[in-house]
Amino acid sequence: MNKMAMAALGIGAAYLMRNKNARDKLMKQLDSFMGGSQSGNSGSSNTSSS
């Protein structure tokens, strides 16, 4: 089963490396899942800690 999981991860990574539209769509979904853009959150936390 572990080999199957690793193969699926490899295939998914190869697909995302070759397909920019899929990469962008995945990043948008992750941003919305995490509650916004991570770069914006890290920038505001760096400003408040400085």
- Tens-digit pLDDT profile for residues 27-49: 999 899 888 655 555 444 444 44
* Contact present, 23 and 16 (Cβ < 8 Å): yes
Please write the tens of the pLDDT for every residue from 12-26. 999 999 999 999 999
CB 22 within 8 A of CB 16: yes
Give Cβ neighbours of residue 22 (< 8 Å, ≥ 6 apart): 15, 16
Structural domain boundaries of the chain?
2-49
Which residue stretches of 1-50 are H helix? 2-18, 20-34, 38-49
Distance, first Cα to last Cα, the chain: 47
